[in-house]
Amino acid sequence: MDDGFFAEFDSLERLQRALERLRDHGYRALDAFTPFPVEAIDAMLGTRPRAVTRIGGLAAAAGIAVGYGLQWWLNAVVYPLDVGGRPPHSPLAFVPITFETAVLFCGIATFAAVLGLSGLPRLWRPAFEIEGFERASLDRFWLFVAADDRCFEPRRTHELLLGLGSLRIATIGVHAP
Amino acid sequence: MRRWIRGEPSDAELDAQLLSPVWTPASRLWQLAFLATGAGVFVLVVLVTWAMIEGIGLFGNDIPAAWAMPIINFVWWIGIGHAGTFISAILLLLEQRWRTSINRFAEAMTLFAVMQAALFPILHLGRPWFFYWLVPYPSTLEVWPQFKSALPWDAAAIFTYFTVSLLFWYLGLLPDLAAVRDRAPGRVRRRIYAVFALGWTGSSHAWRRFRIGYGLLAGIATPLVISVHSIVSSDFATTLLPGWHSTLFPPYFVAGAILSGFAMVVMLLVPARAVFRMHHVVTDDHLDAMAKMILVTGWIVLYAYLVETYLAWYGANEFEAYQTLVARPFGPYAWVTWLTVVCNTCVIQVLWWRRARRSVALLWIVAVLVNVGMWCERFVLIDVSLMRGFMVSKWETYVPTLFDWGILVGTLAFFSLLFLVFLRFVPFVPVYECKALVREEAEEARRG
């Protein structure tokens, strides 16, 4: 997954144009590294990930079940306590905590999903050794073409990237032509 | 076309300016403030330890005013946190651009305020080391919490609020921690920030999940923030005490919370902006927008005061009527009631004038007065109500002790200390959001 070509661009416009051209050439295993989120790139790379919202939704449902179930089980079954003649199972009084557990579960699951699905935390990866790659979080734009892309052919891909105006091309796990 | 970031700075300029407080040596002013607040925190630790050893007889609380300063401070602090979530979550969903420069700042305020708030109910338990009895854990006693009481609701709400706020804040912080990792001078500093950045690369696959996840967290934080102060108000509203037993309480508390929170953001932002010279990212327009929010929420609070008074009269319940129409405005703490009214409803009216909203000093004074007013409001709501219950023979006047004031001042110091540390070690303006915003605004300017 880490193997391939990394190409640096000095502007977002150049990066976007390069991505478009690579897509036109049939490349699909692409990624871009930008200092801020760019919606247009999401559209270019295709596929809307639904996993994060699904995981969040499922966790919220689990939170409702756990929150309500726990209150019912403890106050109506295990330890019913008569306070002012109120019924041990009081659905309305159980609403606030049920809501809070749903939010809590959903929040934790969403956070974990965003990180986990993106392969984080991972403190080091080969790309960090590329000179200048650190500017991907500051003011430069990097493009990645994975070596396992079906269109990938070191010499041709390299030439294509050069032609797209990249400032430098670094390779990881592939021999540079 | 209004622009929220002045002068169209380049990415490199934004990095240099917004990230550099993290590695610039602390100024003399910062060091002095750190020492002063550190001393305050020391006092707080001493007082809390003393309360643990001696017991809560040190507080001025007594029957009938069993819920006194600790609960006032709890309600006040937790309310202050609400504006942070409002700015970072609700304004995000409403696509308000002016939240960009201030959302991380405001949300840090939320976290630190909730930490202060949480201290009080735990101390107030009397035997704070048993606080975990609020959590349903399997114990050999086979005694479980009663979930029909509003107090376990409180515990659940505060714990959830703190956790979700922390995750939301930290997620939004990741890209900027990565930027510090990549930009800061010195190997050690880079290593430390590298750990906290969790290996963020700015990959567009990660950004996409980030955006979805961040939006989802904002979506759940929005009802959450409304629920927290509603639940806090249920502590009061579910009792029968005159002055507390009212369905008005949840919206009334939430509006007051957001009012005091916005005032606190202004109180903190004005000096921070001046010290770090961030006038082109945190512009007068930002302060103007917050002043308008103070005015709006202030009017909601004013409306709640009117409804409360009207209901006391229209409800034809002599105890409620006495509480609201006699005990509060003319009783033992009448001056606190009138101070509340002056600060929260009269003083804020100057913000109708653009001149006042743009005068930093005046706005700051209004913000301080609003916070004083909101504290006074909690005092009147909680304590004057308790002092004037159903039984005349139980009427007593509550007087806070020096210990009560010491703990309040201690939490103010602790809050300020946490804030100083935050300003020093975390980029407090979201840099990546500013970069995106500069481009968006430039694009719009080109299109006309």
Q: What is the mean pLDDT of residues B403-421?
A: 94
Give the CATH number, domain containing residue B87.
1.20.1630.10
Are residues A86 and B199, on separate chains, in Cβ contact within 8 Å?
A: no
Q: Is residue A111 pLDDT above 90, yes or no?
A: yes
The proportion of chain A whose per-residue pLDDT surpasses 90, expressed as a percent, equals: 32
Q: What is the pLDDT of residue A47?
A: 62
Write the pLDDT tens digit of every residue in B214-265: 999 999 999 999 999 999 999 999 889 999 998 999 999 999 999 999 999 9
A-chain residues within 8 Å CB-CB of B202? 33-36, 136-137
- Nearest-Cα distance to chain A for B128, in Å, is 22
Q: What is the pLDDT of residue B405?
A: 95
Annotate A103-124 with DSSP letters as a single string: HHHHHHHHHHHHHHHTT-S-S-
B-chain residues within 8 Å CB-CB of A134? 181-183
Are residues A94 and B147, on separate chains, in Cβ contact within 8 Å?
A: yes
Q: Residue B235 burial (CB < 10 Å; 0-12/13-18/19+)?
A: buried
Within-domain flag for B216? yes
Q: Is residue A131 pLDDT above 90, yes or no?
A: no
A-chain residues within 8 Å CB-CB of B10? 139
**Which of A31, A111, A115 is nearest residue B205 as measured by Cβ atoms?**
A31
Host H or E run for residue B44: helix B28-54
Query: How many other CB atoms are there within 10 angstroms of residue A14's CB atom?
Result: 18
Within-domain flag for B9? no
**Cβ–Cβ contact B148 with A under 8 A:** yes
Within-domain flag for B14? no
Which token pair is B447?
A: 């299109």
Q: Domains of chain A: which residue ranges?
A: 4-49+126-172, 51-117
Q: Tokens 């759940």 correspond to what residue?
A: B220
Q: What is the pLDDT of residue A31?
A: 87
Within-domain flag for B13? no
- Closest Cα in chain A to B223: A103
Q: What is the pLDDT of residue A1?
A: 64
Q: Is residue B410 pLDDT above 60, yes or no?
A: yes
Within-domain flag for B189? yes
Q: What is the pLDDT of residue A153?
A: 82
Write the pLDDT tens digit of every residue in B104-139: 888 999 999 999 999 999 999 888 898 888 888 888
Half-sphere exposure of residue B280: CA atoms within 13 angstroms, side-chain side: 11
Write the pLDDT tens digit of every residue in B64-85: 888 889 999 999 999 998 888 8
Q: What is the pLDDT of residue B198?
A: 92
The proportion of chain A whose per-residue pLDDT surpasses 70, expressed as a percent, equals: 97
Q: What is the pLDDT of residue B116?
A: 94
**Residue B142 or residue B306, greater confidence:** B306
- Closest Cα in chain A to B178: A137
Q: Which residues pair with A8 in a beta bridge?
A: A142, A168
Within-domain flag for B1? no
- Nearest-Cα distance to chain A for B159, in Å, is 9
If one counts the domains in chain B, the total is 1
Are residues B201 and A42, on separate chains, in Cβ contact within 8 Å?
A: no
CA distance A78 to B144: 8
CA distance B173 to B432: 10
CA distance B107 to B413: 18
CA distance A131 to A140: 12
The proportion of chain B whose per-residue pLDDT surpasses 70, expressed as a percent, equals: 100
Within-domain flag for B368? yes
- Closest Cα in chain B to A139: B11
Q: Which amino acid, A172?
A: I
**Which of B148, B171, B439 is nearest residue A75 as measured by Cβ atoms?**
B148
CA distance B295 to A91: 38
Q: Is residue B344 pLDDT above 80, yes or no?
A: yes
Q: What is the pLDDT of residue B341?
A: 94
Are residues B144 and A101, on separate chains, in Cβ contact within 8 Å?
A: no
Are residues A121 and B171, on separate chains, in Cβ contact within 8 Å?
A: no
- Closest Cα in chain B to A44: B204
**Which of B160, B168, B217 is nearest residue A100 as measured by Cβ atoms?**
B160
Q: Which of B96, B200, B211, B198 is nearest to A41 (CA)?
A: B211
Within-domain flag for B56? yes
Are residues A137 and B200, on separate chains, in Cβ contact within 8 Å?
A: yes
- Within 175-234 of B, beta carbons closer than 8 Å to A belong to 175, 178-179, 181-183, 194-195, 198-214, 216-217, 220-221, 223-224, 227, 231, 234
Q: What is the pLDDT of residue B309?
A: 93
A-chain residues within 8 Å CB-CB of B221? 107
Q: What is the mean pLDDT of residues B270-286?
A: 86
- Nearest-Cα distance to chain A for B431, in Å, is 9
Q: What is the mean pLDDT of residues A38-63?
A: 86
**Which of B145, B168, B213 is nearest residue A113 as measured by Cβ atoms?**
B213
- Nearest-Cα distance to chain B for A173, in Å, is 19
CA distance B252 to B345: 14
Q: Which of B80, B121, B86, B110 is nearest to B419 (CA)?
A: B110
Q: Tokens 């505060």 correspond to what residue?
A: B158
Instruction: Give chain B's end-to-end CA distance (angstroms, integer).
Output: 9
A-chain residues within 8 Å CB-CB of B200? 120, 137
Q: Which residues contact B13 (CB under 8 A, 6 or more apart)?
A: none
- Residue A168 DSSP label: E
**Which of A104, A111, A135 is nearest residue B213 as measured by Cβ atoms?**
A111
- Closest Cα in chain B to A144: B203
Q: Is residue B1 pLDDT above 60, yes or no?
A: no
Its pTM surpasses 0.80: yes
Q: What is the pLDDT of residue B275?
A: 86
B-chain residues within 8 Å CB-CB of A38? 204, 207, 436
Q: What is the mean pLDDT of residues A147-153?
A: 82
- Domain membership of residue B135 as a residue range: 22-441
**Cβ–Cβ contact B147 with A under 8 A:** yes
B-chain residues within 8 Å CB-CB of A12? 439
Are residues B183 and A138, on separate chains, in Cβ contact within 8 Å?
A: yes
Q: Is residue A86 pLDDT above 80, yes or no?
A: yes
pLDDT grade for B22, boundaries at 50, 70 and 90 = confident
